Amino acid sequence: MMIRIPQVLSAEQVARCRAVMDQAGWIDGRATAGAQSAAVKNNLQLPDASPEARELGDMVRAALERSVLFMSAALPNHILPPMFNRYEAGMTFGSHVDNAIRTIRASGQRMRTDISTTLFLSDPSEYDGGELVVEDTYGAHKVKLPAGDAIVYPATSLHHVTPVTRGTRIASFFWTQSLVRDAGQRGLLFDMDMAIMRLNQDHPGHLSAVQLTGVYHNLLRQWAEI
């Protein structure tokens, strides 16, 4: 299940990210890649421990916590501190699957990567190419969103970034360990949550919304791993 999360960051927040990045030092993106990914990865990245990455990561985390759509789709238990990458002309990232386990550097805690997220920080007009392509049983899906928007998709998916041919593509990327490990169960809970929200909007206070909310939480109670 791929879900677009619009306007995670405001235009002002995107501008702040870009201003901080303009003054930052970038390193080879292969520094944080596994052996298989490193062979097909050609981009730049902010060092994880840099002040710039920490400031912007805190901004992104706070914005995610305010996003009802992200919280419903991901049901986050742990979120890896957001990272930031940069693709200039000629750079690309070949087909790969993300590592199953990541370590939160600050705490040493290991987490399972259930969900991948890319948060776009460049507008599509600023670069050519650079589409995120996610493959699933329905084929390959190209994603290129406005600055501030994010795409959430299963970390189990084979995916790649097409070569940038003009301009610069800047994004944040990170992984989430969900309270619900199974992607199918997460999808059912998300669909139910969206239906409950629409029901509450169309028929405020309707008894059916209360009953469905009870079903939602009982399913979450059954499936969640704490």
**Where residue 67 sits, what CATH number does that domain have?**
2.60.120.620
Comparing C-alpha atoms, which of 155, 185, 187 is closest to residue 173? 155
Q: Looking at the structure, tell me whether residues 84 and 14 fall in a common domain.
A: yes
Q: Looking at the structure, tell me whether residues 115 and 211 fall in a common domain.
A: no
pLDDT at 106: 81
The Cα 42–Cα 37 span in angstroms is: 10
Q: How many CA atoms lie within 13 A of 145 on its CB side?
A: 24
Q: Looking at the structure, tell me whether residues 125 and 70 fall in a common domain.
A: yes
Q: Looking at the structure, tell me whether residues 125 and 111 fall in a common domain.
A: yes
Strand partners, 172: 84, 119
Q: Looking at the structure, tell me whether residues 95 and 198 fall in a common domain.
A: no
pLDDT at 14: 98
pLDDT at 92: 97
Burial 9-44 (b: 16+ CB within 10 A, else e): beeebbeebeebbeebebeebeebbeeebeeebbbb
pLDDT at 37: 76
Q: Looking at the structure, tell me whether residues 39 and 136 fall in a common domain.
A: yes
Q: Residue type for 7, please?
A: Q
**pTM as predicted:** 0.94
Q: Looking at the structure, tell me whether residues 168 and 211 fall in a common domain.
A: no
Q: Looking at the structure, tell me whether residues 23 and 57 fall in a common domain.
A: yes
Comparing C-alpha atoms, which of 172, 154, 48, 180 is closest to residue 100? 154
**197 Cβ contact list (under 8 Å, min separation 6):** none
Q: Looking at the structure, tell me whether residues 46 and 129 fall in a common domain.
A: yes
Give the domain range for residue 214: 183-223
Cβ neighbour number for residue 116 with a 10 Å cutoff: 21
The Cα 152–Cα 57 span in angstroms is: 17
| Number of structural domains found in the chain | 2
> pLDDT tens per residue, the chain (226 residues)?
899 999 999 999 999 999 999 999 999 998 777 667 778 999 999 999 999 999 999 999 999 999 999 999 999 999 999 999 999 999 999 999 999 999 998 889 999 999 999 999 999 999 999 999 999 888 999 999 999 999 999 999 999 999 999 999 999 999 999 999 999 999 999 999 999 999 999 999 899 999 999 999 999 999 999 8
